[in-house]
Amino acid sequence: MTMPDSAASMSPMKPSEAKSPGLKSMTGYAQARREESGRVIRVTLRSVNHRFLDIHVKAPEGFESLENGIRQAVRAHLRRGHVDVILHYDSSGPAAVAVKREVAAAYLTAAQSLRKEFGLTAEPDLAGILRLPGVVSPPESLAIGEDDQLATILQSCLNEALIKLDEMRKSEGRILTEELSNRLNNIRDLATKIEPLAERTRPAYARRIEGRLKELLAAVPIEPARLAQEAAIAAERSDTAEEIARLRSHVQQFESLLATGGEIGKKLDFLLQEMQREANTLLSKTPGTESEGLEITRLALEVKSEIEKLREQVQNLE
C-alpha cells in the first residue's frame, strides 16, 4: 500500500501567532473533527513535558502508511514534549465495510470444533464474530492508504488540531511566564534583604575568629597584627557579596530569556542549576549563630525554595 502524494507531504498550516516570541508550555490538549461523504475523521492530541519531541501515533487498521506524514506534520509545529496522536475513523454507506469471509469462516470452523469437543450447545454469535480481529475491514476498492481524498481530509483535520494545541500551549506558557516572573521578584527581594545582613556579620565573624585563634594559640607567641590579619582573611573567605551579585546576575539573565521567548526551557533549567549553586554556597558561608547569621540562613533557604519551584515550572516549558 503506497501513500498518496497529498498524504506524504502533510503540509501543515502555520499557526497565526508563529512569530510571537511568547513561551509555550509542553502541556496541552486539542481535538478536531471532519466529516465528508459519509466518512468521519476525528484527531485527538495530548501533550506533556519531555526532554525531546516524542510522538506516539494511535490509528485504526489501514492507516499505517499515513503515520509518517502525521509525524512530519507534528514536527513542523512542535519542538519538545511527549505527544499522543489518536486518530478515530468512522465510515457509513453501502461500501463502508468489507467482510473477509475466509477469516470469518476460519473463526466459525474453530468455534464448531470447540462445540463438538466440549459438548457445547450454544450457537456462535454472529455479531461477536464480526468484532473479531481481521473480519471486518475497508473494502479493497477504498483502501485507506491509497485514498487521496481521505488523506486530504486527515491533513485538514490534523492541522486544525495542531493549531488548537499550539494555542493552548501558548496560553499555558503565558500563565507560566507570569508565575516565573513573580518568583524571580521574590528571589531579588530576598537577595536585597540578605546583603546588609551579610555586611554586618563580617566584623562580628572576624572578632570571633580572632578570639578562637587566641584560645588555640594561647601557649604560642604571635604578633597581634598577624593574628588580626589571619582573622581578617578567614572573615574574607566567608564574604557572600560575590554569591549575592552572581545570584542577581542570574535573575537578570533569566528575565532576559523570558522576554526573548522561544524554545528556552533547557537554557532556563541550566541557569537554575547555577542559581541553586550560589544559594548553597551562600548557606555554607553564613557565619555563626548570631541573629544576623540565623536570618541569612532563613532567607537563603527561602531562596532555595523559590528556585526549586522555578525548576518545577520550567520543566513544562518547550
Per-residue model confidence as pLDDT tens digits over 225-284: 655 555 555 555 566 788 899 999 999 999 999 988 888 888 999 999 999 999 998 888
pLDDT-above-90 percentage for the chain:
40
C-alpha cell at 109: 470452523
DSSP 149-197: HHHHHHHHHHHHHHHHHHHHHHHHHHHHHHHHHHHHHHHHHHHHHHHHH
Range name among 70-79, 128-137, 250-259 with the lowest pLDDT average: 128-137
Is this prediction's pTM over 0.85? Answer: no
Q: What angle do CA 170, 173, 176 make, to 5 degrees?
A: 160
Start-end of CATH 1.20.120 domains in the chain: 173-314
* pLDDT surpasses 60 at 7: no
Give, rounded to a whole angstrom, the gap between the first and last alpha carbons of the chain.
Answer: 36
C-alpha cell at 213: 585563634
Considering all CA atoms of the chain, what is the largest pairwise distance in Å, rounded to the nearest integer?
Answer: 110
Strands 81-91 and 39-48, sheet pairing: antiparallel
CATH code given to domain 173-314: 1.20.120
- Note whether 33 and 157 are within 8 A (CB): yes
Burial 164-179 (b: 16+ CB within 10 A, else e): bbbbbbbebbeebbee
Q: What angle do CA 243, 301, 275 make, to 5 degrees?
A: 40
* pLDDT surpasses 60 at 291: yes
Displacement of CA 145 from its chain's centroid (Å): 33
